[in-house]
Amino acid sequence: MPDTFSPAPPNETPAATTPELSAAVIKFKSCRWRRPPEDGPECCGHRDVLPIAGTSFKPDSWCPDCEFFKLRRTPKKREPGSYSY
């Protein structure tokens, strides 16, 4: 009698896949106005956008043509003697 039971084939898709980020999300993550999730809901902190955006902020709706966009910059390390008093 032939064996009628066969195990299911292994899952060929990786278990943990990272979703592709849109250009708007990438722009939002690099903007200086982005309010991080630690400070409440992640949204745009610019004064002209925040009241409209609220807690349901969608970068794809706001960020592609944003006129307030500014790149986040890391502060330059200064030498101790370069401070002016």
Domain spans, the chain: 23-68
* pLDDT, tens digit (0-9, with 9 covering 90-100), for 52-71: 766 678 899 889 999 999 98
Query: What confidence tens digit (pLDDT) does each residue in 4-49 have?
Result: 665 555 555 555 555 788 999 999 999 999 988 888 888 888 888 8
Asked whether 71 and 32 are in contact (CB, 8 A), the reply is: yes
The model carries a pTM of: 0.59
**Helical (H) or strand (E) element with 50:** helix 50-53
Q: What is the pLDDT of residue 68?
A: 92
Dihedral sign computed on CA atoms, order 56, 62, 64, 66 = negative
> What proportions of the chain, in percent to the nearest 5, are helix, strand and coil?
25, 5, 70
So what's the pLDDT on residue 17?
55
